[in-house]
């Protein structure tokens, strides 16, 4: 199970950005509409075989980043005993998106101090570390919080001290 889908990535960060960063360096950037069709499994018959091959190479780079992101997240979550996840909590989906985006942008040149992609990645890493340390919860979908016995409130008392009966 992946923590993010192609369709979710197509929406955010978006097909244009994905095409720009995932297209192999020696090729022209994949057309945004072709990238969207490739990510969503739509009909690609309107494009040439060569363009589709480049789009498939870009998809392969995206999928590699998705696998790497899952491995990073699993490394942190396994330390806390969260694995296997039966469903993907929204925060894990967000972390996967941020990590995939960061990995695809790894060759960017510029000052990383003010880069929102780097900032989001560093924030995700901090939250993953806090999660591994038990200081941050996965929210309502947190598997360690779902054990009903741990969450039940029970009242217990000793027997009666006073009663209506006469002795």
* 107-111: average pLDDT: 75
Task: Using DSSP, state whether 147 is helix, strand or coil.
Answer: coil
Contacts 24+ apart (CB under 8 A), 14-22: 15/39, 17/101, 18/58, 18/62, 18/104, 19/58, 21/104, 21/105, 22/58, 22/59, 22/61, 22/62, 22/104
> Domain containing 103: what range?
6-139
pLDDT in tens, 40-52: 999 999 999 999 9
Domain assignment present for 149: no
Closest CA to 72 of 98, 90, 105, 107: 98
Does some domain include residue 125? yes
Q: Is residue 35 part of a domain?
A: yes
Confidence of residue 139 (pLDDT cuts 50, 70, 90): confident
Query: Is 161 a member of any domain?
Result: no
**In whole angstroms, what is the distance from residue 13 CA to residue 42 CA?**
19
110's CB contacts (< 8 A; 6+ apart) are: none
Q: Domains in the chain: how many in total?
A: 1
pLDDT at 157: 61
**What's the Cα-to-Cα distance from 26 to each of 23, 55, 92, 126, 132, rounded to whole Å?**
8, 13, 34, 35, 40
Residue at 95 is within a domain = yes
Is 64 inside a domain boundary? Answer: yes
Asked if residue 53 belongs to a domain, the reply is yes
Residues of the chain above pLDDT 90, percent: 69
- CB-CB contact of 99 with 124 (8 Å): yes
Q: Tell whether 152 is covered by a domain.
A: no
147 pLDDT more than 90: no
Structure confidence by residue, pLDDT tens digits, 58-78: 999 999 999 999 999 999 999
Q: Extract the tokens encoding 147.
A: 């054990």
């Amino acid at each position: 199970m992946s923590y993010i889908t192609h369709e979710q990535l197509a929406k955010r960060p978006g097909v244009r950005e994905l095409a720009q960063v995932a297209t192999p360096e020696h090729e022209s950037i994949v057309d945004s509409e072709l990238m969207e069709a490739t990510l969503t499994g739509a009909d690609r018959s309107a494009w040439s075989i060569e363009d589709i091959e480049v789009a498939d190479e870009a998809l392969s780079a995206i999928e590699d980043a998705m696998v790497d992101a899952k491995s990073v997240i699993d490394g942190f979550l396994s330390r806390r005993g969260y694995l296997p996840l039966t469903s993907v909590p929204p925060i894990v989906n967000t972390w996967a998106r941020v990590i995939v985006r960061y990995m695809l942008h790894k060759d960017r040149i510029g000052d990383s101090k003010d880069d929102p992609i780097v900032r989001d990645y560093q924030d995700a890493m901090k939250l993953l570390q806090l999660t591994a340390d038990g200081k941050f919860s996965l929210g309502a979908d947190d598997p360690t919080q779902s054990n009903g016995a741990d969450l039940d409130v029970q009242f217990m008392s000793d027997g009666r001290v006073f009663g209506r009966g006469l002795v």
